[in-house]
Structures are given as structure tokens and as C-alpha cells.
Amino acid sequence: MATIDFTAEVEKRKDALMEDLFTILKVNSERDDSKADKENPFGPGPRKALDTFLAMAERDGYKTSNFDNYAGHFEFGEGDEVLGIIGHLDVVPAADQEGWNTNPYEPVIKDGNLYARGASDDKGPTIACYYGLKIIKELGLPLSKKIRFIVGTDEESGWGDMDYYFEHCDLPLPDFGFSPDAEFPIINGEKGNVSEIVKFNGKNAGATVLHSFKSGLRLNMVPEVATAVISGEVADLQAKLDAFLAENASKNLTCEIEEAAGKYTLTMHGKGAHGAMPEKGVNAATYLALFLQQLSFADGAKAYIDFAADLLLEDHEGEKLGIAYTDELMGNTSMNAGVWVFDENGEASIALNFRFPQGNTPERMQEILAGKAGVTEVEIAPHVMTPHYVPENDPLVSTLLSVYEKHTGLKGYETIIGGGTFGRLLERGVAYGAMFEGEEDTMHQSNEYKPVDAIFKSAAIYAEAIYELAK
């Protein structure tokens, strides 16, 4: 058989690829539990994105299966072994995130970049991978393995889509596979992932009263905005704030104060980032706590603020907490203080998301957290993920690295990350693309974008990778 120029094949289809990608990017597929029901398990947006994708697949001649609007799949090819490809169509919130220069659900191309929520995570890569398989199908290339293309609708929240899918799909698990939901050259190791909710009492006993403290949209996002409502002893509040912002000018923080009926609302603005890489963001909640620490709080309010300012501020590995742990293969433990609630009439908590290597455990971290001053309880959230690793000498890994090297001219190498991808759902599963080395990471951030050329390049890589794995 003549050598196939997959790059040229993508070129022939790039207009169709972008048209399909635009169609699915226009769907606001944020999870919305307030509108969830039996027909829309994660709200109408994720369900609409799934319907849109499956209709696209049916248009292209695939027989699709929809698993009660949690997830869907189609299969192509014949063979005893099954190659699984698992992407996701849901996205993290954008509507409540500041700083967008365009409508996140009206995709636009500017200066060669495609701006939209999901352009990089994970609609862009999923559609690029879909077109990689579409090329193989349309060229009629011979395969010796079956390919199962699976899409989920709850990757960004709790993976309830995949729990449901694997429980209700009567087919055996794919033998091996990848998720197009990370970066090149490959992700063949993923740290464990657990969220632990640190609880405090919501009481006040000081001259300054903390009525509420709120921050964070999701556990896997660095909080970009934090809001506190206070009253009581707040002398020279604006002057103190001005001095604080000047002292921390390098962080590019901004903060506003509004007064109404004797209560002061402070809104601090930092910088969002993916929760797996908290060091890339500026956690607005921790800096708001640092500022508030100079006021006269007491009891649960003081414990809450002191915990944040003394133990969480600019500590992304849990060293101040005593949780830090490093493994020679998998690296360190990372920590993101993702969701914050203080209600003077009830709940007070900080949800910490940890990405941990082998050797560290959720129970170890829970015990350490429970011993900190002012902490009343530490709850381990559901959906704990254990560390995952596929050796570099596995044919899956070596084949994918070889294809990457061919298309980029760069040396491939194994990578272990803190982020969790659907690749870990398979024992021989990895994440593969679609962010290239040197590409700015805007996942989970305002103005998320993907270079258009990188979308086409990744589609060619996916086409050849799928062919090499399944031929």
C-alpha cells in the first residue's frame, strides 16, 4: 500500500472539520444541576452536546448508541481486540468567569486562534480525533482491530457519565486506548485525585463580623474571584486595602469595596487556572483571606481566615499543612483550594483538591488536616481516583510516541501529570494530545483558545495513530 499523507487528507477536510467543531462549540454544555432530570442527567447543555455529536456520527454512517444521555459511542472496524478512544463534550463554567473578550459560546477565529469554551478542553481535540478516524473510514484502510469511540458529558465534574456508561454498556472494556484530552507527546501516568472538604464552625465572636465568604466555581479550577461580606470594626478599610494591593502588586490583584446598610462587600480578583496546576493561577480566596487577617475576627471566622492565610496562601504542595509528599516516579502532591463557603448561619468549609502520587493516600491527608486548629471535620469527597501508570515500553505508548515524533520532528518522552483524564479508565489507557509543546495552556481559563493550525496538526496525528494501533 502506498504511504498515506495524513496531513494532506486533513487539508482536504479542514473546512468540514471546522464547521462541525463550530457547531458543537456553540452548545453551552456546562453542567447545570438545577435543570437536571431523568432526560438530562447533568442538565440540558451536556445532553444537547451529546445529541449533536451522535447526529454527526450518524450522518457519517456510524451506528450510534446513547446511554440514557449520560454518554454515547459508536464502533468501526472488525477484530477481536478493541481500541478505545474516549473524549468528553462537557465544559467548565464560563458564564460566571471574568475576563472573556468574546462570547465563550460564539466561537471566533482571531490571529489564527479559535476562541471558545471547549476549544482546547475538550471539544477541539475530540473533533480533531473524530476526523482522524473519519479519514481512515473514508479511505477504506484495512484494520485488524475494532475501534470504539466513546464520548462523555460529565468529565469536568464527577465522572458520573462514565460510571453510568460502564455499568450499562454490555460490551467488554476496550483492551487499550487513549483520551484526546491533555497534551503531546503523551500522558502515560496520572496522579491520584481526591477532594477533601475541611469544615469549620460558622461562628463569630470578634469586633469584626464575617457574614459570608464565597469563592470558586469547581474543584478543578483555581478561584478567580472571591467575595466576603463583613461588618463591625472596619476602620480605614479602603486605606488598608490600598496598602495591601500595593504590597502585592506583582500578583495583579484588584479588589472593590461596596457598603450597604452597615455591611461591606469585598470582591477580590485573581487569576484562574486549571486546578491540576494551581501554581499557574492567583487564588483570589487566599489573598482575600490574607487581607482580612488584619481585622478583628474571632471564633470560627478567625479559624477559617487564619487557616487560609497561614496554611494555603501560595503553597501549592501542602508543605505548610504537612501534607507534602513526593514520589521518585510520579513527583509531588499538588493542592488547589477550589471551593470556599462561610455562612454565619451555617456551613463553613474549604474544599481542597489534591493530585497525589503513589505512596501518598487520602487517609493520610485527612488525618493531617483534621489535626489543624479550628478544623471541626474533614470529609473525603466521593470519586477518589488512585494513581495510574502505563509503562513506557508498552506498545501503546511506544507507537503513539513514534507517530508524534514523525509529525513533529521532536523527541517523544513519557509524562506524568496531576490532571485526571478518561485515559485512566482503561488499564492500558493513556492521554494523547492535543496541546503541543510551547502552546499556551488556557484550559479552564477566560479566553480559552486553540491555535487553528494545531487543531489540523493534531487531527493528522490522530489519524495516523489510530491507523498504526488498529491496522
The tens digit of pLDDT for each residue in 282-335 reads: 999 999 999 999 999 999 999 999 999 999 999 999 999 999 999 999 999 999
Residues 254 and 336: their CA atoms lie apart, in Å, by 21
CA neighbours closer than 13 Å in the CB half-sphere of residue 314: 5
Residues 176 and 465: their CA atoms lie apart, in Å, by 13
Residues 254 and 16: their CA atoms lie apart, in Å, by 43
The answer for residues whose C-beta is within 8 angstroms of residue 431's C-beta and 6 or more apart is: 178, 179, 180, 181, 182, 183, 186, 187, 190, 417, 421, 422, 423
* pLDDT the model gives residue 98: 76
Residues 348 and 258: their CA atoms lie apart, in Å, by 23
**What percent of the chain has a predicted confidence (pLDDT) above 90?**
94
Evaluate if residue 219 carries a pLDDT over 80. Answer: yes
* pLDDT the model gives residue 383: 85
CA dist 356 to 250, 311, 323, 369, Å?
29, 18, 10, 15
Evaluate if residue 93 carries a pLDDT over 70. Answer: yes
Evaluate if residue 177 carries a pLDDT over 90. Answer: yes
Dump pLDDT digits (tens) for 239-290. Answer: 999 999 999 999 999 999 999 999 999 999 999 998 989 999 999 999 999 9
Please give the domain boundaries of the chain with CATH numbers for all domains: 6-191+387-470 (3.40.630.10), 193-380 (3.30.70.360)
Q: Cell triple for residue 100?
A: 472573556
Active-site choice (30, 121, 154, 155): 155
* pLDDT the model gives residue 269: 97
* pLDDT the model gives residue 398: 98
Average pLDDT, the chain: 96
* pLDDT the model gives residue 99: 86
Active-site choice (9, 20, 30, 90): 90
Exposed e or buried b per residue across 90-125, where buried means at least 16 C-beta atoms within 10 angstroms of its C-beta: bbbbbeebeeeeeebbebeeeeebbbbbbbbbbbbb
> Is 155 annotated in the active site?
yes
The answer for residues whose C-beta is within 8 angstroms of residue 305's C-beta and 6 or more apart is: 210, 289, 292, 293, 297
* pLDDT the model gives residue 418: 82
| Neighbouring C-beta atoms of residue 13, cutoff 10 Å | 16
Q: Which of 49-53, 303-307, 444-448, 460-464 has the lowest mean pLDDT?
A: 444-448
* pLDDT the model gives residue 27: 98
Q: Cell triple for residue 335?
A: 493542592
Evaluate if residue 196 carries a pLDDT over 90. Answer: yes
Taking residues 47-68, report their average pLDDT.
98
Residues 284 and 242: their CA atoms lie apart, in Å, by 16
Taking residues 21-45, report their average pLDDT.
97
* Confidence at 419, pLDDT banded by 50, 70, 90: confident
CA neighbours closer than 13 Å in the CB half-sphere of residue 156: 25
Apex 164 CA angle, 25 and 277, nearest 5:
55
* pLDDT the model gives residue 342: 98
Evaluate if residue 235 carries a pLDDT over 90. Answer: yes
Note whether 198 and 349 are within 8 A (CB).
yes
Taking residues 40-49, report their average pLDDT.
98
Sign of CA dihedral 437, 426, 381, 169: positive
* Confidence at 420, pLDDT banded by 50, 70, 90: confident
* pLDDT the model gives residue 96: 66
The answer for residues whose C-beta is within 8 angstroms of residue 459's C-beta and 6 or more apart is: 10, 17, 128, 129, 131, 132, 135
Nearest to 282 by CA among 334, 327, 226: 226
395 by Cβ neighbours in 10 Å (0-12 / 13-18 / 19+) ranks as exposed
Beta bridge partners of 416: 189
| Neighbouring C-beta atoms of residue 359, cutoff 10 Å | 15
Taking residues 40-54, report their average pLDDT.
98
Sign of CA dihedral 153, 155, 157, 158: positive
Dump pLDDT digits (tens) for 346-383. Answer: 889 999 999 999 999 999 999 999 999 999 999 999 88
CA dist 263 to 19, 213, 220, 234, 341, Å?
51, 13, 31, 10, 18
